[in-house]
Each structure stands twice: as structure tokens, then as C-alpha cells.
Structure 1
């Protein structure tokens, strides 16, 4: 059976963020993920995890300046030093939280930018990030994100992510396969999942098109989860969705599966 992690950025919004750990544990989650931890001291978050008996599964590296439109730094020419500092920060938090996976976001690319230049920077930055993470036993994730929710994001397709991982050649660089993003950009989830499985380090689920509970919308959640079992996927499944109503009330799909 897949291991499910609640995404505390998107779920349990009826609670203040520090209280979401206990709420997730009460509902039966064993792991959590969230987007960014940097507004809170690492020691405070670690205490919340320990008190709730939860495992920190994943979080994102520092994204740059969100207010100015940054969505990551890894593919951005001229910001390599900032990227390296962001890797150091992310790994400090990973150590404090006992987290073995971090997602290093690629960033937004201008329409007139040179994609080849961005790709070269991306490969070099990921090689650096993976080498630093390996010293701490941490795996780096890269995630294709759909062009509707995040126009201009550098990485959009699964096979491109796989090719980048293989070109970098680091054993601890993996693809973060999000059903929601993949369905919007490409579809054909079953075939892509089978093809990509050796390169996948983390999976996320949500409904399409509304990004609510995964048992609604156009994706057959039960079929996909059973497929993960048949493929012997041993990683976590992040529930990166916005509940349609109260988070706990909408977890019937999880209770049925468990």
C-alpha cells in the first residue's frame, strides 16, 4: 500500500501552520511535506514533527523572491551564487528535520530567453546541488510543472526531466512525478508512470482540473494507486491538493484506501 504524506501548505488550512502537524497525525498520516519551511526556525518544526510522530518527507529549496515572481533558481543564469547559498540553507533544514528529499525548483524563464543557456546552467547547478546533498544522504528532486498554473516554468515534461537526470548522472537526482501536472501537460499517465518508474523518487496526487481530493475529477485515483502497488513503488505519495471543504471531512478516499 502506498505511504501517504499530507502536504501541509495546501491541506489543513483551517488550522494555523504549526497546528497542521497534529491535525495530519490525528487523521492517520505518517508523513508530511510542505513547500517552504523557511519562515519558521528548523528546531520549532522538528519539535512539531517529533511531538506528532511524523516523518518529514519533502520540501522545496528556497525559491528566490516569491513576491517578485521567482519560482526557483536552478536554471537562472547569473544567479548561481544565490542558488548555491539556497542549497546550503535547504540542507541545513533537511538535517534538522531528518528529511531525505529536497526539491530544487528550476525557475521562470522569460519568453525571449535562450533555452540552451538556461539548460546549461540547470545541468551545472543540479550537479552541484546533488553533490552537496549526497554528502548528507539527501536526494534531490526536479519536478515538471504545468504551463497553465505556472507559465514560463523551465521544466514541463516528464521525459525532459528524465533526460536531465541522466545527463547529470548523479544517483541521488530523481524525478518528482506529479499526476496533476502530468495530466494537464501530457496525459497518458499509466504509460508514462511505467516508463519513468526507475527515475522517480517521489509522487504527488490531486484531482484534475480543480486540484481537489484525488477521488474527484478526471483521473481514476484508485486505478493509479493500485498501479503503484503493482510496480512496487516504495516511496511516498504526497497529497498536494487543496481540499474542496474541510480537510478531514474530505479524507474519505484515504480512509477507504487504508
Structure 2
């Protein structure tokens, strides 16, 4: 059975962030994810999860200076100490929130990093940082995820293709380093979604969805999500499906797709 998690960084923006937990629960979600928890004390978020009966399923490591445009630290040479601190902070939150997985954003290549030597330096940093993060997470029973993000929405992002992600997982070689498979990003960069799901299924730790190309509700656009949900069920996927899309209007009114598919209560 497909289990939907509400991405509270995108859904229920009609409410202040801390009120989105109750809104998600009332709409029938049983899991939540979001970009970052670090603006709030972990105990505050933990109390909200307990009050609303929600499970925290995912959040990201600290990304560097988000407001200045940074999008992760994992592949950035010279920032290794900061990355290691970010791993410790994320795992501290994960333990309080009982969250089984965290996402390590790869980061952006600088404008002059298209040369082979520069990209190689970022790759080497990425591999070593991910190996460190996975080993630290294993000590407390957590997974670390990597996610290819499309270069239209995030130009210069270091990890952008499914094949690149699979090669990274193999090179790092840690069993708790897994793939965050975002069907929206994959459709834009690679397409052939069902075949990618089938071929990469053993590596998948989390799935996310959104309509393509506008990143609205998943019943609008070029991707036929009922077929993808059937594929996931046929593969016996037992994880969560994160609803990481921007509602075209009111969040709850736009959830008819989930109700129609029997994934949310009517």
C-alpha cells in the first residue's frame, strides 16, 4: 500500500509552519517530511509529531548558507569540517524525532568547475563525505540519502542524473547510503520512469512525487502517476512517497488526486 507523506515545506503554506503538522494530519497524512528542522528545537517538533500522530520520515542535512544560494555541502572541497558538523547536527535531530533517514544535498559546482580537474575534485570530496556520513549514521541506525536534482530548477547541482547517483552509491559502498528517487526530477533529466524504478529499486530508500513540468499536483502534467504507483506496489515498495509539490491553489482542495486513488480519506 502506498503511504503518502506531506512535504511541509511545500504543502499547507496557508498555515504557519508549526501549524502545518495538524493540517497534514487532519487531511489524512500519516507521515511528514520537509527541508530543514533547524529553526526549531527538536523537542518542539517531537511534541507536534506526538500530538498529531505523524511520523517524521525525512529531512535534509544543514545545506550551508541557504539564503546566500548554497544548496548543500557534501561535494564542496574545503568545507569538510562544516559538513561533518552538519552530519552530527542532523543525526541529533533524527534521534529526537525518530526519523530513520536524512538527505545529504550534494551542493553546487562553482561557475568555473566544468573543467575535468575541478569536477574530479568535487567528486572525490563527495565520495569521502558520503562515506563519513553513512558510517556515522550507521552508528545510530539511520540511513543517508542522495538525490539527483534537475539542472533546470537547480542549475549547477553536482548530482543530476540517475546513473551518476547509482555510480556514487557503488563507489561509496556503504549499505545505509541509499537513493532518494524523485520522480519529478527523474522525468525532467532522464525520463523512462518505470524502467528506472525497476532497475534501481534495490537502492531506493525514499520516493518523492510532483506533476511535471510545473511541479504542481501529481494529477496534472505529463506523468501518469497511477501507473507509477502500480509499479511501486508490484515491486513491493514499503517506504514512503513524499508529496513534494507546489499546490496550484489551496492545498487541501488540491488533494482530490489522493482521495480519488484511495490514498487519502474522502
Bin of the TM-score, shorter chain as denominator length = over 0.9
Deviation at 1:183, TM superposition (A): 0.6
Deviation readout 1:79-102 (Å, 9 max, x if unpaired): 000000000000000011000000
Indicate the SS of the match to 2:145: strand
Tell me, in whole angstroms, the C-alpha distance in 2 between the residues paired with 1:140 and 1:51: 27
TM-score of the pair, normalised by structure 1: 0.99
Indicate the SS of the match to 2:45: helix
Tell me, in whole angstroms, the C-alpha distance in 2 between the residues paired with 1:104 and 1:231: 26
Indicate the SS of the match to 1:23: helix
Q: How does 1:1-258 map to 2 (within 5 A)?
A: 1-113=1-113, 114-258=118-262
Deviation at 1:8, TM superposition (A): 0.3
Tell me, in whole angstroms, the C-alpha distance in 2 between the residues paired with 1:22 and 1:68: 31
| Deviant stretches of 4+, over 6 Å | none
Deviation at 1:111, TM superposition (A): 3.1
Flag structure 2 segments of 5+ consecutive residues without an equivalent: none
Tell me, in whole angstroms, the C-alpha distance in 1 between the residues paired with 2:159 and 2:15: 33
TM-score of the pair, normalised by structure 2: 0.96
Indicate the SS of the match to 2:76: coil
Flag structure 1 segments of 5+ consecutive residues without an equivalent: none
Aligned residues: 258
| CA RMSD between the two structures | 0.6
Tell me, in whole angstroms, the C-alpha distance in 2 between the residues paired with 1:106 and 1:67: 17
Indicate the SS of the match to 2:228: helix
Deviation at 1:180, TM superposition (A): 0.6
Indicate the SS of the match to 1:154: coil
